Amino acid sequence: ELVLKVRIQTPNVRENDFIEIELDRQELTYKELLRVSCRELGVNPEHVQKIRKLPNTMLRKDKDVARLQDFQELELVLTVSDKNLLFRVPTLSEQSGYNKKASELTY
């Protein structure tokens, strides 16, 4: 396995931690990197403009991915300007365990 550190590019956020993902060394392709990164970060792959190897190198093809080494840092650069649209927080009624009748009780 190849272990990589991945995060979403969010320049205005003070804390933007990386997560570690694992890729099978037999499947080191750009498509697989995109798939696993998006799944782990909860992002739609259609919203990813590019993958950047920090500090300043854009990954474009399978050969670029094949050259990655353990614990290299990557960022997903998203196409949507309002990042909040991608990470919609569920409303109280959508959260599991919410009891609508209990919320309507009056004391």
Whole-Å CA distances, 58 to 53, 75, 77: 6, 10, 10
- Does the residue 104 lie in any domain? no
- Does the residue 97 lie in any domain? no
Which residues form the domain of 55? Answer: 2-78
Looking at residue 37, its pLDDT comes to: 95
- Does the residue 83 lie in any domain? no
Shortest CA distance to 38 belongs to which of 2, 8, 15?
A: 8
* Alpha helix stretches (DSSP H) within 54-103: 62-66, 100-103
- Does the residue 64 lie in any domain? yes
Looking at residue 66, its pLDDT comes to: 94
What digits encode the pLDDT tens for the residues 2-48? 999 999 998 777 778 999 999 999 999 999 999 999 999 999 999 99
Domain count, the chain: 1
What is the distance between the alpha carbons of residues 18 and 95, in angstroms, rounded to a whole number?
26
Amino acid at 49: Q
Confidence of residue 104 (pLDDT cuts 50, 70, 90): low
- Does the residue 54 lie in any domain? yes
The answer to whether residues 51 and 23 touch, using CB atoms and an 8 Å cutoff, is: no
